[in-house]
Each structure stands twice: as structure tokens, then as C-alpha cells.
């Protein structure tokens, strides 16, 4: 399960299949060094993405 406290890099290392979701929301943080330190909730906030919606889609991808 993906949580809002996980870093973007951690999520992508564990679940590379979620990359298209990050791209769809304009969260291209995976391509920069800050992804190793930036928690999902912060990245979503910076990009004005609703964290609950994003978490729902990410976790839905894991169960499909």
C-alpha cells in the first residue's frame, strides 16, 4: 500500500507501474534528485494535486 508519507522515489522503485499516473498529474518529480527526499503529500501539494485522489489511483493500480 502506498501512503502519503512515502517518497516519490520509493514508490517508483517499488511500483514502477505507477509512473503513468505520476505523469498524468504532471508530477515529473521522478526525474529530479528531490524525488529521493520528497514525500508524496508534499509533491502533490506543490503541484496542486488532491492527495486523496492521487493515493486512490496509485493504490488502485497496485490492486489491478
How many degrees, rounded to 5, is the angle at CA 44 between CA 39 and CA 45? 100
Residue 3 domain-assigned (yes or no): no
Residue 57 domain-assigned (yes or no): yes
Full domain range(s) for residue 16: 8-62
**pLDDT-based confidence at residue 36 (cuts at 50, 70, 90):** confident
Residue 28 domain-assigned (yes or no): yes
Average pLDDT (12-25) is 94
State the total domains in the chain: 1
Q: What is the mean pLDDT of the chain?
A: 91
What b/e readout covers 9-48, taking b as 16+ CB neighbours within 10 angstroms? bebbeebeebeebbeebebebbeeeebeebbbbbbbeeee
pLDDT value, residue 64: 77
Q: Hey, is 39 helix, strand or coil?
A: strand
Residue 2 domain-assigned (yes or no): no
Residue 57 has pLDDT above 90, yes or no: yes
* CB of 29 closer than 8 Å to CB of 43: yes
Amino acid at each position: 500500500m502506498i501512503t502519503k508519507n512515502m517518497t516519490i522515489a520509493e514508490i517508483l522503485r517499488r511500483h514502477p507501474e505507477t509512473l503513468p499516473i505520476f505523469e498524468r498529474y504532471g508530477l515529473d518529480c521522478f526525474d529530479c534528485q528531490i524525488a529521493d527526499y520528497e514525500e508524496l503529500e508534499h509533491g502533490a501539494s506543490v503541484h496542486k494535486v488532491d492527495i486523496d485522489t492521487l493515493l486512490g489511483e496509485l493504490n488502485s493500480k497496485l490492486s489491478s
